[in-house]
Amino acid sequence: MAETLGMLCDKLTIVKLKQYHTEDEKRLESLGSQEKMLQNEIDEFVAQAIAGAIPVERLSFAANKVFKKEGNVVQEIHGSMGSVFSQLADVNCKLWHEQEKVYEFEQVPEAEKNHVVKQLALLNLERNKCIDAIDKQFVDLITTKKQ
Which 3 state secondary structure label does DSSP give 49?
helix
- CA 116 to CA 94: how far, in whole Å? 11
pTM confidence score: 0.89
pLDDT of residue 46: 96
pLDDT of residue 27: 97
pLDDT of residue 146: 67
The mean pLDDT of the chain is 92
Q: Smallest Cα–Cα separation from 88: which of 135, 50, 21?
A: 135
pLDDT of residue 147: 65
Low-confidence ranges of the chain (pLDDT < 70): 1-2, 63, 65, 67, 146-147
pLDDT digits (tens, 9 = 90+) for 64-106: 767 677 777 888 899 999 999 999 999 999 999 999 999 999 9
Q: What is the 3-state secondary structure (H, E, C) of 81-106?
A: HHHHHHHHHHHHHHHHHHHHHHHCHH
pLDDT of residue 65: 67
pLDDT of residue 69: 73
Q: Smallest Cα–Cα separation from 136: which of 91, 80, 92, 90?
A: 80
For the chain, the structural domain boundaries read 5-146
